[in-house]
Amino acid sequence: MEDVVARIEQWMRQKGMTAPELAKTLDMNRSTVVHIINGRNKPSLQFVINLAAYDPEIDLRFLLTGQHSPTPLESKKANEVKVETKIVERIKEVNTGKNTMIVLHSDGTYKSFVEQQ
């Protein structure tokens, strides 16, 4: 928990704030914030929510765990699905006058299904 408080203090230094100023900014009791910064109390969920509401750019994952949140580009790369495209050189022409569905398989084969009436 000391690490979390140290990161909160680091954030406060970046913002140029003291504990009493932070308490006033977050509309919290001064002694509550001072006790958190001095290590007497642990930061509450409400305290963290108030920080996030005050500074929407704060990295809460870093604040709580010490690990930075992935950027949207990194998240997209992690969730990327590899799509493989193959060109079908020959497609059988079906002229039945009925609705037809063709299912293409990854090995290049296909099946066609013709609507029954």
Q: Is the pLDDT of residue 88 over 60?
A: no
Residue 74 pLDDT > 80, yes or no?
no
Q: What is the pTM of this model?
A: 0.56
Structure tokens at 60: 């809460």
Question: Which residues in 8-41 are b (16+ Cβ under 10 Å) and which e?
Answer: beebbeeeebebeebbeebebeeebbbebbeeeb
Percentage of the chain beyond pLDDT 90 is: 37
In the chain, the largest separation of any two C-alpha atoms, in whole Å, equals 82
The CATH architecture annotation of domain 2-70 reads Orthogonal Bundle (1.10)
Would you say residue 7 has pLDDT above 70? yes
Which pLDDT tens digit goes with each residue over 22-54?
Answer: 999 999 999 999 999 998 999 998 999 999 999
